[in-house]
Amino acid sequence: MKRLAFSLVLLTAAPAYAEPGAQDSQAQTLYQTKCASCHGAERLGGIGPALLPDNLGRLGKSGAEMTIREGRAATQMPSFKNEIDDAGIKALAAYVYSAPNVAAHWAQADIEASRVLTPAPAADKPKFSADPLNLFVVVEGGDHHVSILDGDKFEPIFRFKSRFALHGGPKFTPDGRYVFFSSRDGWVTKFDLWTLQVTAEIRAGINSRNIAISKDGKHIAVANYLPDTLVILSADDLEVEKIFEVADLNKHPSRVSAVYQAPTRDSFIAALKDAPEIWEISTDPHAPPVYSGLVHSNEKSMIEALPSAQGLFALRRIEISEPLDDFFFDPSYRDLLGANRDGGKAVVVNLTVGEEIATIPLPGMPHLGSGISWMRDGRRVMATPHLKEGKISVIDTTDWKVIAEIPTAGPGFFMRSHENSPYVWTDSFLSPTHKDEIQIIDKNSLKVVRSLKPAPGKTTAHVEFDRSGRHALVSVMEMDGALIVYDADTFEEIKRIPMSKPIGKYNVYNKITFSEGTSH
């Protein structure tokens, strides 16, 4: 099928936003010079999020000024205080809170018009000899490509050009044959790992965060920052199945921070950036009725209950005290740990009763989305890195108490392990002086037993294990970067594979089996 030309639908009627003063030439020039490469020439987002009043949520102009001046921790947003004077910073903040020249609009008709199908030929086995469940899908952010890596020989077997700025991690069908990617600018791509071919693409939003796949592999959920939607697609051909306009019960819209599969619950769980709610959406066509209103304090009171609030895509709202946009789930998916960018704590929400059951003090901005868990002395613990402090917090999931804080070389972003490994690997990705260091922690003693510098002076992060847990792969995240393969027991280097800024690599088997050592 001929690839369809894409054109963004732009409405001439703009909503009521904060008024002028922002549209002066200085602000526009500063924006195009300092901001457009990441946030898009029309402020619709790129590597960074869209910068429009409706998309900036609770930040406010003063918050925008501080972000421009000081940067934003644990993101690619730098500080501009040495490049832009105070008047320029104020002008820029006013500009991003002003009405755009044209308002962005991306509705169901636009999504459907963007869909392109390129079906792969029939195949009853892979076209290569490598173990299809021990493949690594490697996202190379440097030149926007994806490499498929043989996880036994550690040799690339295929490479193809991806959409711009893939984000949120690829998702695999339960049999491991198909993988789905999402890009910051809203594109969802379906790729056949047997025939090594893209089979479908669709643009589900203008600025997207991530995707999730349902337990049965039939549905894809897309979390959008712009517009404020959660889009459900058929995994078969990416046809639109449902669009949720995301807002709280008072009709205040919210961006969707992320969406996750909860396999034991047969549902999607969505984190809302701007609303104190967690959404659970059923992916079971035979699910019993649920409350489409808020579930809170064990009352399970029904608010705005709808006759359709059962079965496939039934919506359940869970009230929480404040918005949470970074989640960790215990293996049962009964309990969720959530945090937000402003806090120094984690909140534990029991999804069964729909209630907050604990608060855990965690100063230093925990990155729960990278947390992992394992059994230690007969009790399950989880561990999380921190984005502002060089430490790992270890939490007993029985009583939700912090049992250890492990010092590291600097603030980190990722943690990884494997059920067959006695070690946890973590990075110092956000350290200005130790971004090249990997720390290896013993799961029982909770001590750092080894530090590695795979590429001195270069950013090194994101460890992923192979199917067996015998090897650990580390990314050197530079344009002239590499994947470095280590023996996971001896920590000796096995092989170095050149890559263009490999920002992530994902083992098929570990992902489809929900290995306890990797994020989901």
What pLDDT does 425 receive? Answer: 98
DSSP secondary structure code for residue 458 in this structure: S
User: In whole angstroms, what is the distance from residue 151 CA to residue 497 CA?
Assistant: 12
Sign of CA dihedral 84, 90, 96, 99: negative
CATH 3.30.420.40 fits 16-104, yes or no: no
User: In whole angstroms, what is the distance from residue 180 CA to residue 199 CA?
Assistant: 10
User: In whole angstroms, what is the distance from residue 175 CA to residue 102 CA?
Assistant: 44
Is the CB of residue 167 less than 8 Å from the CB of residue 209?
yes
Is the CB of residue 384 less than 8 Å from the CB of residue 362?
yes
Transcribe 359-410 into DSSP letters: EEE--S-B-GGG-EEEEETTEEEEEEEBSSSSEEEEEETTTTEEEEEEE-SS
Domain residue spans in the chain? 16-104
What pLDDT does 360 receive? Answer: 96
CA 233 to chain centre: 18
User: In whole angstroms, what is the distance from residue 391 CA to residue 406 CA?
Assistant: 5
Is the CB of residue 473 less than 8 Å from the CB of residue 459?
no
**How is residue 138 written in tokens?**
């490697």
User: In whole angstroms, what is the distance from residue 286 CA to residue 38 CA?
Assistant: 44
Taking CB atoms within 8 Å and a gap of at least 24, the contacts of 394-401 are 394/446, 395/346, 395/360, 397/330, 397/335, 397/373, 400/348, 400/357, 400/358, 400/360, 401/360
Label residue 326 left, alpha or beta by phi (over 0 means left) and psi (-120 to 50 means alpha): beta
What pLDDT does 186 receive? Answer: 93
Q: What pTM did the predictor assign?
A: 0.85
Among the listed residues 131, 179, 182, 139, the one whose alpha carbon sits nearest the alpha carbon of residue 159: 139
Q: How high is the mean pLDDT in each 10-residue block of the chain (520 residues)?
A: 34 34 70 84 75 71 86 76 87 83 82 95 95 98 96 98 91 98 95 98 95 98 95 98 95 95 96 96 84 48 43 94 94 94 88 95 93 96 95 97 97 96 97 96 98 96 97 97 98 98 97 91
What pLDDT does 294 receive? Answer: 56
**Helix axis angle, 60-70 to 86-96, nearest 10°:** 130
